[in-house]
Amino acid sequence: MSKRETLLEINNLRAFAEKTGEPRSQLVNSVNFRIDKGEIVALVGESGCGKSVTALSILGLNAASIEYESESEIRFHDENLLQLSDRKLRKLRGNDISMIFQDPMFSLNPLKKIGKQMTEALLQHKAADVRTARQDAEKMIERVGITDPKRQLDNYPYQLSGGMRQRVMIAMALLCKPELLIADEPTTALDVTIQAQILEIMKDLQQELDVSILLITHDLGVVAEMADRVVVMYSGQVVEEADVYALFEQPLHPYTNGLLTSVPTLEGESDERISAIRGTVPSPQELPKGCNFYDRCTRRTDRCKKEEPLLTNHGGRNVACWHPVVEGVKDDERTAIRN
């Protein structure tokens, strides 16, 4: 299989919360990963690990409250999005890059009908007339499984169920045929049946439109169903990146291993207890000198307390750990990804 072309690349992303005093609150630290054309990349980790900060930074939606280090880059078609003007970012949003937010009830305007909200995006980015925009909106919401699309376009968001609102959000996000779709917890608060339907719709449309997806989630079942590659974040840092099959088969970082072993399964004895990761995530204002996972790790040593592990290449996958779950890795065989 030929190598895919890189669509978006995040290099050394370091972000701090503005106006927090001293010490500064570091939200993400030296985040590096890429998204290739036609690929689904899952960004996973506990709440507060920096997933949403990273995603919102791509579209510049948190620029007013975030301070970025000068070396930080988010390159889309080789253009650094962190350096774009507000005018250029507005042209990009919803057209080349779209986003599905966690709660459609807060994302949709409660005072505007669904049809009005959908046609606005087309009129702004595609210069279509109102009639054509309305027809395109009807086709797209029918494509995401909403019956009687003409009538539904004349409804307000509160008149739709949670599952239907999420389908509308997917339709709106894909209406202008973007190259990249950012999906932030797209199935949160939906029951299992509706969740499965939403994921199936997203995957079908992703293949049909050849759109890349950055999937932000803490649900490892969704990751297994959807993703090609997985980026694991902890305390503002990428700690592991791998092909989805390799990661589920053999996680290298103790944190990733803890996430996977904490998921209940149908296998094993009925009295088998679910494993849990002890402790809590460190405060952004009080990060340790060495590994951020030190206090919670069962494989820690003195070196972990003193030296921060770098994201390094290990057999074609990346991990930031001095003592990965698979033993036998010599330090001089580990190639640093960043300085």
Q: Give residue-wise pLDDT tens across range 139-149.
A: 999 999 999 99
Residue 223 lies in a domain: no
Q: Which residues lie closer than 8 Å to 99 by C-beta, 6 or more apart?
A: 55, 59, 61, 93, 173, 181, 182, 183, 184
Report d(CA 183, CA 181) in Å as an integer: 6
The residue among 290, 79, 69, 260 whose CA lies nearest residue 179 is: 79
Residue 236 lies in a domain: no
77 inside domain = no
DSSP 273: P
**For residue 156, what pLDDT is reported?**
96
Is 323 in contact with 293 (CB distance < 8 Å)? no
Q: What pLDDT, on a 0 to 100 scale, did the predictor assign at position 326? A: 73
Q: Residue 201: inside a domain, yes or no? A: no
- Out of 177, 206, 225, a domain closes at 177
Q: What is the pLDDT of residue 272?
A: 55
Last residue of a domain, one of 161, 177, 193: 177
* pLDDT in the model for residue 335: 40
Low-confidence ranges of the chain (pLDDT < 50): 1, 270, 328-339
Same-domain status, 248 and 329: yes
| Runs of H (alpha helix) within 231-330 | 244-249, 254-261, 302-306
Measure the CA–CA gap between 97 and 180, rounded to whole angstroms: 5
Q: Could you tell me if residue 84 is inside a domain?
A: no
Q: Is residue 327 part of a domain?
A: yes
The per-residue pLDDT for 162 is: 87
Cα distance from N-terminal residue to C-terminal residue, the chain: 31
Contact 42, 226 (CB under 8 A): yes
Among 239, 289, 243, which Cα is nearest to 259's? 239
Total structural domains within the chain? 2
- pLDDT of 22: 64
Using CA atoms, how far apart are residues 62 and 67, in angstroms rounded to an integer? 9
Calpha distance 221→241 (Å, rounded): 17
User: How far is it, in rounded angstroms, from Cα 91 to Cα 69?
Assistant: 25
Q: What tokens appear for 318 in the block?
A: 């990346």
Q: How far is CA 172 from CA 43, 92, 93, 104, 292, in A?
A: 22, 15, 12, 11, 39
286 within a domain of the structure (yes/no): yes
Question: What are the phi and psi torsion angles at 190 (to 5°)?
Answer: -100, 150
Angle between helices 162-174 and 130-143 (to 10 degrees): 130
Q: Which of 177, 198, 227 is the last residue of a domain?
A: 177
Contact 338, 12 (CB under 8 A): yes
Asked whether residue 297 is assigned to any structural domain, the reply reads yes
Other beta carbons less than 10 A from residue 230's beta carbon: 26
Q: Are 241 and 222 in contact (CB under 8 A)?
A: no
Range of the domain at 138: 103-177
CB-count burial class (<10 Å; 0-12, 13-18, 19+) for 250: middle
Nearest to 100, CA basis, from 172, 206, 178, 203: 172
What confidence score (pLDDT) does residue 79 get?
A: 93
The DSSP element (H or E) to which 68 belongs, if any, is strand 66-68
Verify that 173 and 254 share a domain, yes or no: no
User: At residue 239, what are phi and psi to the nearest 5 degrees?
Assistant: -105, -20
